[in-house]
């Protein structure tokens, strides 16, 4: 069964085409700069890459171009578009309405619209992609897979903020959490690697990239996570501040900063970019730090320290810890960051094997023989997780 997975951003569409249930990737690609100068499609198939540049005015044109490319005699992998039997969509915010993936209908669309103000940069383009796919592929089941769904098992004591309760009742202000598809995928894989059932594992999953989040997974279910109402809360990220004293914003407002200024400051100008003053790319910062750049070193140290604090906190929450899992672009590739995070955690049973940590490529166990807790590197595969959900939901 052929399943198309779509991830629509404000000016981009990422896609992968799967043959299910084997999870075989037939092709993948990216449409970028939609509605802008320099729009292009990059399509990968059979170890080849096809790039097409030209005007792409909106998401509907982008999805139409993807479908045309998939059946192209020169670069396609399908004979005709009717081979696509289901489409899976990444949707960032599902609020409290969705505890898992669902078949999209008008009620689902309305529910996604209702929480769009909680994810204004993500849900609107997600919806645009859904509508475009429904138009281009009428009658084909469309499945919504929510980043927030895995975290709907978080108990009230962990998701409530100490604000007037009426704000939760009226506006839905609470912790939702994000990167749920990734956290679920790696937690399930960690259980398999350790020979446990998916509901038998206690682990801390660290999704580290330009956007980073940590999750506490107890008996295979999320019970706490670092991101909150929005993806701004939590650990230090590429350009996001993570946890800060909220009074800082009041103080800066008194100094003349507007709401727009503060939003930009916290989301786009902070994190390791703000600390270093030079980059939000960990590779660049590592090079600068090795060359003696003290602010680059500070950015790396603060990033690692904040994650270490979350691991300690979540260890207390879980009681028994079976594994710490690293995933995401930084988690999978930055050995120095993993070493800094896990350093001096022997007192809670976490120890790295330096040689294994330095040489890891792909999926691996990198903990020392004496480590009571397994330390794992597991490449995330959100697209495959969406494809699995889409396949299962379309068969129901």
Catalytic positions = 147
| DSSP code at position 152 | G
- Do the Cβ atoms of 175 and 228 come closer than 8 Å? yes
Helix (H, G, I), strand (E, B) or coil at 19: strand
Cα(75)–Cα(52) distance, integer angstroms: 11
292, 328 contact by CB (below 8 A): no
Cβ-based neighbours of 294, under 8 Å, separated by 6 or more: none
Cα Rg of the chain (Å, integer): 21
C-alpha–C-alpha distance, residues 262 and 219, integer Å = 39
Tokens 């650990």 -> residue = 235
Length of the chain: 396
User: Which residues lie closer than 8 Å to 71 by C-beta, 6 or more apart?
Assistant: 78, 79, 80, 81
Helices of type H across the chain: 59-70, 106-114, 123-136, 156-159, 165-171, 180-193, 247-254, 259-268, 271-276, 282-290, 294-318, 328-333, 335-342, 354-359, 382-395
d(CA 238, CA 23): 31
Interatomic CA distance for residues 135 and 138, integer angstroms: 6
Q: In whole angstroms, give the CA distance from residue 323 to residue 221.
A: 14
User: What does the alpha-carbon distance between residue 15 and residue 30 come to, in Å, rounded to a whole number?
Assistant: 6
- Contact at 8 Å (CB) between 160 and 229? no
DSSP-assigned beta bridge partners for residue 218: 221
């Amino acid at each position: 069964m052929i399943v198309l997975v779509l991830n629509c951003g404000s000016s981009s569409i990422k896609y992968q085409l799967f043959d299910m249930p084997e999870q075989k990737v037939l092709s993948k690609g990216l449409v970028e700069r939609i509605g802008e100068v320099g729009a292009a499609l990059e399509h990968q198939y059979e170890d080849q890459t096809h790039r097409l540049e030209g005007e792409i005015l909106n998401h509907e044109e982008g999805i139409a171009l993807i479908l045309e490319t998939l059946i192209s005699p020169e670069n396609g992998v399908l004979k005709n578009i009717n081979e696509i039997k289901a489409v899976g969509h990444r949707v960032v915010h599902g609020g409290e309405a969705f505890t898992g993936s669902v078949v999209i209908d008008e009620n689902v669309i309305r529910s996604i619209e209702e929480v769009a103000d909680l994810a204004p940069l993500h849900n609107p383009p997600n919806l645009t992609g859904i509508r475009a796919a429904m138009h281009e592929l009428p009658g084909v089941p469309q499945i919504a897979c929510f980043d927030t769904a895995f975290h709907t098992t978080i108990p009230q004591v962990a998701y409530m903020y100490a604000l007037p309760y009426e704000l939760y009742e009226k506006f839905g202000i609470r912790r939702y959490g994000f990167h749920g598809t990734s956290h679920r995928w790696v937690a399930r894989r960690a259980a398999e690697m350790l020979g446990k059932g998916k509901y038998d594992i206690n682990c801390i999953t660290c999704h580290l990239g330009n956007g980073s989040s940590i999750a506490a997974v107890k008996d295979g279910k999320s019970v706490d996570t670092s991101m909150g109402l929005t993806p701004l809360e939590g650990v230090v990220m590429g350009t996001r501040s993570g946890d800060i004293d909220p009074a800082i914003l009041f103080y800066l407002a008194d100094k003349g900063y507007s709401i727009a200024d503060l939003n930009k400051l916290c989301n786009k100008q902070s994190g390791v970019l703000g600390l270093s003053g030079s980059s939000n790319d960990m590779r660049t910062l590592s090079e600068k730090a090795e060359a003696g750049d003290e602010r680059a070193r500070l950015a790396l140290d603060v990033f690692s320290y904040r994650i270490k604090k979350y691991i300690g906190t979540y260890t207390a929450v879980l009681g028994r810890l079976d594994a710490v899992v690293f995933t995401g672009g930084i988690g999978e590739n930055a050995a120095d960051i993993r070493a800094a995070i896990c350093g001096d955690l022997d007192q809670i049973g976490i120890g790295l094997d330096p040689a294994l940590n330095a040489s890891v490529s792909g999926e691996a166990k990198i903990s020392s023989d004496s480590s009571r807790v397994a330390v794992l590197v597991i490449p995330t595969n959100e697209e495959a997780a969406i494809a699995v959900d889409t396949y299962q939901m379309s068969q129901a």
